[in-house]
Amino acid sequence: MYDSPIDNERLQDKIQLILKVNYVSSALSIAFALLCYFVLKITEIIPLVFIAFGVLNLINTLAFKKHGGIAATYNISSIMALVSAFIITLFSGGINSAFVFTLALIVFAGYVTTRKYGRVYLNVIFFLVLLIFSQSIPEFSFTRNVVPEASKNIFNLCSVLFSIYLLGNIFGKTLLKTHHSLYKSKRELTLQMEEKETLLKEVHHRVKNNLQTVSSLLSLQSRNLEDPQVKAILKSTQNRVISMAMVHEMLYMRKDIAHIEYKSYVQELGEYLIKSIKGIENNVKLTIDIPEIKLGIDTAIPLGLLINEALTNSLKYGLKDDQGGEIYVDLKKEDDEAYILSIGDDGIGFPDSITYKNTRSLGLKLINNLTRQLRGTIKKDTSRKGTNYIITFQEIKQQLSPVA
């Protein structure tokens, strides 16, 4: 799996930040050492620590070009900086030394690199600050201030300027650059997503139009036929095509292009089937009980075809001729991915001896196959009048194969 351009850009920004901070901090440390020794007359410990850190940190940074391990380079530099800052703070006034702010800078550098390093250095430095504070208590003190009294203010000023320069000129500039880079990348990704959503909507629109064209062709073909049985087969096929077209139409019309509100879909499908089979003037009552459930296209289409077959059978065979009656669709969510569909009518029903295995009805066979496609189970509800089914199924997260 390849890294994205944004991830690579962020990694390069971190590497450049670490290397830049190392070079600058090494140079400043050596300059600070010379200032302490020749100007501030600090001849013990502190200038030696500055020189040691500057030289070792420079060697560590140059070694990165050979081994290429930025994590190792960062950790070595951070540990040396932590130890050096701790020693200098202890021997330049302890908790009253302005150099103590450099410890906070190390914490900040850790969080800039990763949250993990930031938390580690935060906890370590929190303990070290308490240890530094203990040196202000005579009973626990084991260090002394090696900065001459006449040089304390200048040393503190240089310490503050040292911290401010690293924080502002190095971290500040790099973070600002990274922020602008991420903002630009975010805008580009947003534009790309909007373009993809527009294209996907157009795909749904074209699929819907193509399915409606197929439906129109079936309708035209049926007009030229005289055999009622063949015309009925073409009409059933046309209804199946329309049930799929409705899904793509809803995905095109709604803001959410991945899921559809299933109650409105079933309502529209049911009303269409009633008018298509029973005519505009009819005595059929449609009852829909579906909460706010949204389903993806891989579940919505096979489930829509299943509902189409069940309602078509009810309207054709359950509610005979102009007989009135009720058809219903109840859909409930059982858990995160499981659903229960109750569907049927209060018509004349059919014997229990008839199953999808021994019937010639394509509708019953499709209902069974679609239930399997939805990884579900189906059983006939004999406690109610008419033909009624209880179907338990799973929401499908992947592209489904065509119905066999």
Mean pLDDT on 32-44: 95
Q: Would you tell me how many other CB atoms lie within 10 Å of the CB of residue 141?
A: 12
pLDDT band at 403 (very low <50, low <70, confident <90, very high): very low
User: Mapping DSSP to helix (H, G, I), strand (E, B) and coil, where does residue 346 land?
Assistant: coil
pLDDT at 24: 87
Q: Is the per-residue pLDDT at 258 higher than 80?
A: no
Q: Which residue has the higher pLDDT, 104 or 193?
A: 104
pLDDT digit string, tens, across residues 63-83: 998 888 888 998 899 999 999
User: Averaged over 110-125, what is the pLDDT?
Assistant: 84
List strands edge to edge, sheet with 338-345: 284-289, 325-333, 338-345, 388-394, 377-380
Question: How far is it between the farthest Cα atoms of the chain?
Answer: 115
User: Mean pLDDT across the stretch 163-179?
Assistant: 72
Q: What is the mean pLDDT of residues 336-340?
A: 85
Q: Tell me the mean pLDDT in the region 189-193.
A: 77
**Strand 294-296 relative to strand 338-345: parallel, antiparallel, unpaired?**
unpaired
Any alpha helices (H) in 224-335, and if so which ranges? Answer: 228-253, 262-278, 297-313
Least confident of 272-281, 283-292, 317-326: 317-326
4: pLDDT strictly greater than 60: no
* pLDDT at residue 393 is higher than 90: yes
Give pLDDT, residue 8: 67
Please say if the pLDDT value at position 386 is more than 70.
yes
Percentage of the chain modeled with pLDDT above 70: 88
DSSP structure string for 16-34: HHHHHHHHHHHHHHHHHHH
Question: What's the rounded mean pLDDT across residues 357-362?
Answer: 71
Mean pLDDT of the chain: 85
What band does 278 get if pLDDT is binned at 50, 70 and 90? Answer: confident
Domains and CATH numbers, the chain: 5-190 (no CATH), 259-404 (3.30.565.10)
Q: What angle, 0 to 180 degrees and rounded to 10, lies between the N-to-C axes of helices 262-278 and 228-253?
A: 150
Any idea what DSSP says for residue 393? E
CB 370 within 8 A of CB 302: yes
Identify which of 241, 248, 234 has the alpha carbon closest to the alpha carbon of residue 202. 248
Distance (Å, whole) CA 74 – CA 142:
31
In one letter, which amino acid is 305?
L
pLDDT tens, residue by residue, 205-223:
788 888 889 888 888 888 8
pLDDT confidence band for 27 (50 / 70 / 90): very high
Question: pTM for the full model?
Answer: 0.54
Q: How many residues are present in the chain?
A: 404
Query: d(Cα 281, Cα 279) in Å, to the nearest integer?
Result: 5
